[in-house]
Chain A
Amino acid sequence: MMTLSSMIIALPEIFVTLMIIVMLLVDAFIRHSTKCLVNQSLAFATLGIAFILEHYVYQYAILNHLSLITFNGMFILDNMARFMKTAIFVLSAFILAYSNRYIINRKIPFGEFSSIFMFAILGMMVMISAYNLLILYIGLELLSLALYGMVAINREHSYSSEAAIKFFILGSLASGLLLYGISFIYGITQSLQLDIISHTISLSSSYSRDILIFGLVFIVSGLAFKLGLAPFHMWLPDTYEGSALPTTIIIATITKLAALIFTLRFLVFAFQNLSIDWSFMLIILGVISIVLGNIIAIAQTNLKRMLGYSTIANMGFVAFGLMTINLQGVQSVIFFMFSYVLSLLAAFGILTLFSNADEDLALISDLKGFSRQHPFAAILLSITMLSMAGLPPTIGFYGKFYVIEAMINAGYIKLAVLAVIMSLIGAFYYLRIIKVMYFETSDSTFKFGAPGVFRYSLLSINSLAVIVLGVVPQYLLSYSALLLS
């Protein structure tokens, strides 16, 4: 029943859609000189109002006893959706703040970029709130197409176009695999709604089960692509390297958060009765990712590629956390993702803010002597690197700790030892960044950009949050627990 009250739940999404249209129209008609300011304000306003709407809508729905599942069971606004969307809005605001000077310098059309960014956010919102496989897929496609556009928008440079083509082809292939798997699930369960699927699977016979697992393999492959798990990771380093830095940040941080919710809705909720099967698949994916990601990252000389492989390795941790099948594993994965995304955002933020007008701060050797020229920023970058390596007293340590704890609780002690040893190997390339910044005697020839006070302080808040949350991790832990309440 599509009444007005049922549409209230989806108000943030509707609002964002309208704002995108407004932004596109406004961008077409305003003067060139004010383009940047207007677009920026519209984008921030959209995010801010969507943030407020999200909570207002939820309170309104609770007060008036409206169902949290609307649109014929296609849309849900549970705590997981609500808090993840909030996190995405906040992180997107940071990303916009970090990247606007970069976008102007590179002559990327600002209006188009921010509209496509809003489209990507819209796709994420739909994906996170989806309760129907088809809606999940639609959200995913919206997100992916927007991302392809954002990768290619940096058309002055040939490596962006190359990255875009690779991303597009492989992404479409993965979406195709996902759809193929969904079709099998639909064939057996005759429904696309997540709770009905879960119920039907629990009643299914062993014959249907085989077909379900066949479909599940394709779905897990599609998910693995989006998360960046090996051996479905090939797009990741190239896309990270080739895109403009703002796009890389978007793909690396908020897209992964949305992909995580996507994974949780599919595997932990819809397919909870097939958990033994997908758990085994995740173990294999996790082991390959963590080994491959950490070892290949050692050989990288480009910072963006190195962070790409580090993402692959850390997604291996996510796979390990999910394979434990219990509630604690899911909680640990959400917390780990938040801690990792926070550190990664800060690291890429530093790269974006300190790139100069023509070149990216891309090579590791560009950082030589960074500690002499920008001592405070060097400390911030060191903190984020230590957090991604999982060293105390940063938040990244607690992320890894929680996942390893969940693994040991479920009895996977040998895998925990493997994860821990691979973390050690991984620590090397993070330490190398600190080494290059502090220990090298000669300075690099790279001319660092100079961020303004506002952006620098945002970056400081972001990086210092990594270490402050490391001293009092309880706040992030309770936020992550809220998602599952």
Chain B
Amino acid sequence: MFHYWLSLVIWLPILSGILVLFCSKYENLVKNIALVSSALSLLISIIIFKAFDPNSSALQFEELTSWIPAFNINYHLGIDGISLPLILLNNLITFLVLIASIKTIDKKVALYNSMFLIMTGFISGSFCALDSILFYVFFEAMLIPMYLIIGVWGSTNRIYAAIKFFLYTLLGSLLMLVALIYLYYVSGRSFEIMSYYHVPLTLSVQILLFIAFFFGFAVKVPMWPVHTWLPDAHPEAPTGGSMVLAAVTLKIGGYGFLRFILPIVPDAARYLAPFMITLSLIAIVYIGLVAVVQKDMKKLVAYSSISHMGFVTLGAFLFVGNQLNIWGLEGLIIQMISHGFISAAMFMCIGIMYDRIHSRNIQDYGGVAVKMPVFAAFFMLFAMANSGLPGTSGFVGEFMVIMGALQTKFIYGFFAALTLILGASYTLWMYKKVVFGEPKRLSIQNLQDINKYELSVLLILAIAVIASGIYPNLFLAKMHASTQNLIDLVSHSKLI
């Protein structure tokens, strides 16, 4: 019985990323190694997904070795129903990004491929890690490749965006480190995340820990008001960078809420739930309104991402009595997965257009459908999915979270449901201005339709979006046991 699936899915990309750095002179070899390696890790994550036992809420594929005995830090990996789909999402997106970059990246190809591979490994690591310092190491280490990706291959204002991204996220995670070390002492010198679930804490201490963890993860999600790095980072990042940033990196924030905040400080979560729900609703509604007036396509999709991730944080704090609402919880996980697919697809589409016209401004477009009909069809699908059309995955997550919100308090559900209007308005408005109409500009008239690499990426994402939209049980079935376990865990009070 091969036990080390998780280590394989983490270290295979990292090691091939390092290998690729040594072959920097042979561009074709680099691209081949990168594609093979990411395809392999995708395959492994599919195997893990299939082999996962949905009836057990216990940790599966566990690996435990002592790593730094002096601090009782262990190399402890394991997944449950919450982290399982996220690992699959991560590997899929990286694979697609590497395919998309075959034709589009021509400078420093080896570094580009290696950075994405290493970043994938680190992100998988943070999803699998069960030791808090191991998680922290992966969580912070992942910032370095992202910083390089934005800074080297981004557009004009990339340096500002890269540094802002790095320092903002670093501040949050440094505060989280202090919280983790405090928990280490309070829990009797253990860094195991699971051991923190049973440590009794007073309410004031819980609230302080909540604030520390909140900074760490709210910046990543990103929640209003610590969201301002995202509308700067996304437009400046290259297409692949935006795809991974939106599809995967934001999900680590949501994952952190479920893995760290809710089980470790449940009383503080209940106490601060109205505050968090308010922040999430502001993100959904206000940021949705901000998205309507954007002129830059990538900035618009960035704000749309913040708005959709508002559902994720909303679903995490829908307490009915003492219990977390199951609709909200499962809805937020589905929302994370679906938003991963949709935002990756949206950024891919924008990237396809950017590669041809070199502008992200909506005004420079108009009538793309005339010259790129296949592309326009795919773009339509993803725009509809972004708006939450039933039948696409965008609907399922939003629907479930709104249901949970309505069960908690009617007014929460009402405001959350406004996204159905706002999401449609900004997405479809942008789509109309860009794709429909007459191609007046010369640059539009000379457009070529998508090539086979772009087609394959869009096709895979389209299949993913429609499949999860029509049959969300594909993901939901695997997570029932773990979400029920989390609800049970959170419903107990941990006050001393």
Contact = CB atoms under 8 A, between A and B. Distances in A.
Contacts of B158: 439
Chain A interface size, as a band, is 35 or more
B446 to A, nearest CB: 28
Contacts of A373: none
Contacts of A431: 147, 163, 166-167
B159 A435 contact: yes
B147 A424 contact: no
B141 to A, nearest CB: 5
Contact of B148 (A392, A397, A438, A474): A438
Interface in A316-340: none
B423 interface: no
Contacts of A432: 163
A423 interface: yes
A217 interface: no
B474 to A, nearest CB: 35
B64 interface: no
B162 interface: yes
Contact of B21 (A379, A401, A409): A379
Nearest to A473: B68
Interface string B126-143: 000000010011101101
Contact of A392 (B21, B71, B137, B182): B137
Overall SS of chain A's interface: helix
Contacts of B185: 408-409
A434 interface: yes
A375 B144 contact: no
Interface in A9-64: none
Interface string B210-237: 0000000000000000000000000000
A405 B184 contact: yes
A427 B167 contact: yes
Given A391-B141, A397-B137, A439-B151, A424 B167 contact: yes
B51 interface: no
B174 A421 contact: yes
Interface in B141-180: 141, 143-144, 147-148, 151-152, 158-159, 162-163, 166-167, 170-171, 174-175, 177-178
Interface string A380-412: 000000100001110001100110110011000
A474 B69 CA distance: 7
A313 to B, nearest CB: 15
B171 to A, nearest CB: 5
A477 B182 contact: no
B293 interface: no
Contacts of B496: none
Contact of B178 (A375, A404, A435, A478): A404
A481 B140 contact: no
Contacts of B147: 431, 434
A439 B162 contact: yes
Nearest to B138: A392
B159 A405 contact: no
Interface in A183-236: none
A408 B68 contact: no
B57 to A, nearest CB: 30
Contact of B141 (A393, A398, A427, A481): A393
Contacts of A424: 167, 170-171, 174
Contact of A423 (B111, B148, B162, B174): B174
Nearest to A416: B178
B166 A408 contact: no
A7 interface: no
A104 interface: no
Contacts of A402: 71
Contacts of A280: none
B70 interface: yes
B24 interface: yes
Nearest to B71: A405
B68 A474 contact: yes
Contacts of A408: 178, 181-182, 185
A413 interface: yes
Interface string A412-428: 01001100110110011
A480 to B, nearest CB: 9
A481 B69 CA distance: 13
Given A391-B140, A392-B141, A439 B159 contact: yes
Contacts of A420: 174-175, 177-178
Contacts of B67: 472, 474
Contacts of A481: 70
A413 B140 CA distance: 21
Interface of B: 21, 24, 67-71, 111, 133, 136-138, 140-141, 143-144, 147-148, 151-152, 158-159, 162-163, 166-167, 170-171, 174-175, 177-178, 181-182, 184-185
20 contacts: A386-B144, A391-B140, A391-B144, A393-B137, A397-B137, A398-B68, A401-B177, A401-B181, A404-B181, A413-B178, A417-B175, A420-B178, A423-B174, A428-B167, A431-B147, A438-B152, A439-B159, A439-B162, A474-B69, A481-B70
Given A375-B111, A405-B71, A439-B152, 10 more contacts: A392-B138, A397-B140, A401-B177, A424-B167, A427-B167, A439-B151, A472-B67, A474-B67, A474-B69, A477-B68
Q: Can you list the 6 inter-chain pairs with the closest CB atoms, starting with the nearest? A: A392-B137, A439-B151, A420-B174, A408-B181, A477-B70, A392-B141
